[in-house]
Every structure is written in C-alpha cells, then in structure tokens.
Chains A and B, each alone.
Chain A
Amino acid sequence: EPEVTQTPSHQVTQMGQEVILRCVPISNHLYFYWYRQILGQKVEFLVSFYNNEISEKSEIFDDQFSVERPDGSNFTLKIRSTKLEDSAMYFCASRQGVGNEQFFGPGTRLTVL
C-alpha cells in the first residue's frame, strides 16, 4: 500500500543552523502539508501546498520557514536558522484531492541544541 515517507527520522542540529526535512508524498497526490508537534502538545498546522505554491500558512510559518517541491516526488521543509523552540516532531501529509483524506508520514523528530 502506498505511504508517505519522511527522512531523516531524527535530526539533531545546533541553534542557528539550517535544516531541511524531506518528504515523499504518495505519488498521485496533489495536496501536501507540513504539521508540527512540540512534545506534550497538540499537532499544529504549518503550511499547505498545491500546484507548486503555498495555499495556506499558519502564524507559525514565518520567514524562517520555506517549502519546496524540487522535483516530481520530494516535498521539503526548510528552516533557515533554527531556534530551540523549533524542536518538535514534524509530520508531512498528502492527499489526492479536496474530498479525500490526508495520509501522514511517520514524522521527523528535530532536536535543536
């Protein structure tokens, strides 16, 4: 069964460094999402992406964040200068169309030291 994959599973970085989290959505899906979950808190929406542009972004998704679909398969989240408070689990999700459910990747745990 097709699934969303994410790499790496765990990323440790120093404060101020740039990180890129990678996701491979399900191949025929058209809508892509990033969410994050700080330890012990609820999952929060970051950004949605459709037709090679951002559809919606939350207040969390400031200028330090960017997303890209560099080729036909990958969907990336870049954090330019990481802060301690960026430490969280980051989930990628995708769905085929507007009326379809979202499928989630296993997550990348980001630890900023």
Chain B
Amino acid sequence: KNEVEQSPQNLTAQEGEFITINCSYSVGISALHWLQQHPGGGIVSLFMLSSGKKKHGRLIATINIQEKHSSLHITASHPRDSAVYICAPLRGGADGLTFGKGTHLIIQP
C-alpha cells in the first residue's frame, strides 16, 4: 500500500503553461516537503508546509491537512523547470520523510 500517491506520474507541457502536480497521502502528518530532483540526482527542498499556501517565485504550494492533499503549481513554466518533483510527508518529531514516486516534468521550448 502506497502511503503517498502523486499524479500525474509524467507530464510534458509547453513553455509558459501553468503546471499542477498533486499529492495525496494516507498517514497523519505534521508537515510536507516538496522536493526537486534533477537528472544528476541531487535533491533540493522547494517547500516545507504544514498549512495553507506558500509561494517562492513562480512556484506555489498548497496543503489541506484535513483532506490529506497537497498541490504544487508552477506558473509560466520554463524548460529549466524540467525535473522530477517529489512530495514527501513528514509524520512528526524526528521522523524521516516518506517519499512519493515523483512526477517527471518536461517543459518543451
């Protein structure tokens, strides 16, 4: 049983399009990370949020703790946004993250 489900698994879009990636999780959590992983393998934290909405530049993340759902949005997408985007809930305390399988995003010029 997957604790974290992301959709879509793969997404190809044109430059400039508005992108939405969804994450649903089945366990109770204290917070959730959105992470970015490039082909070279490195992982970068984009957001950690426990309620509401956060915005960094063209990226927006929202979470609804009651509905166990989070979304990541990219406005005015660009080819450099091409990467794997991973949802990773945190159950609490010193616990480690539980990772989703990721969404493979390709933005075509």
A residues apposed to B, CB below 8 Å: 31, 33, 35, 37, 42-48, 50, 55-56, 58, 89, 91, 98-104, 106-107, 109
Residues in B with CB closer than 8 Å to A35 are: 96-97, 99
> What range describes how many residues of B lie at the interface?
20 to 34
B33 touches A43 (CB 8 A): no
Interface window among B21-29, B37-45, B69-77 = B37-45
Chain A residue nearest to B37 (CB atoms) is A43
Residues in B with CB closer than 8 Å to A101 are: 33, 45, 47-48
| Contact partner, B45, options A46, A98, A102, Cβ 8 Å | A102
Bound complex: CA of A58 vs CA of B96, how far in Å? 9
A47 touches B96 (CB 8 A): yes
Bound complex: CA of A55 vs CA of B44, how far in Å? 24
Residue B78 interfacial (CB < 8 Å) = no
Q: Given contacts A42-B101, A43-B86, are A104 and B96 in contact (CB under 8 A)? A: no
Residue B98 interfacial (CB < 8 Å) = yes
Chain B residue nearest to A109 (CB atoms) is B41
B83 to chain A, nearest CB (A): 14
Grouping DSSP codes into helix (H, G, I), strand (E, B) and loop, the A interface class, with mixed when no group exceeds half, is: strand
Chain B residue nearest to A47 (CB atoms) is B96
A36 to chain B, nearest CB (A): 11
Bound complex: CA of A48 vs CA of B98, how far in Å? 12
Q: Given contacts A91-B43, A102-B45, A104-B43, are A42 and B99 in contact (CB under 8 A)? A: yes
B41 touches A42 (CB 8 A): no
B41 touches A107 (CB 8 A): yes
Bound complex: CA of A103 vs CA of B94, how far in Å? 14
Chain B residue nearest to A101 (CB atoms) is B48
Q: What are some 9 contacts across the A-B interface (CB < 8 A)?
A: A42-B99, A45-B98, A47-B96, A48-B94, A56-B95, A58-B96, A107-B41, A107-B42, A107-B43
Bound complex: CA of A98 vs CA of B42, how far in Å? 23
Q: Given contacts A101-B33, A101-B45, are A44 and B99 in contact (CB under 8 A)? A: yes
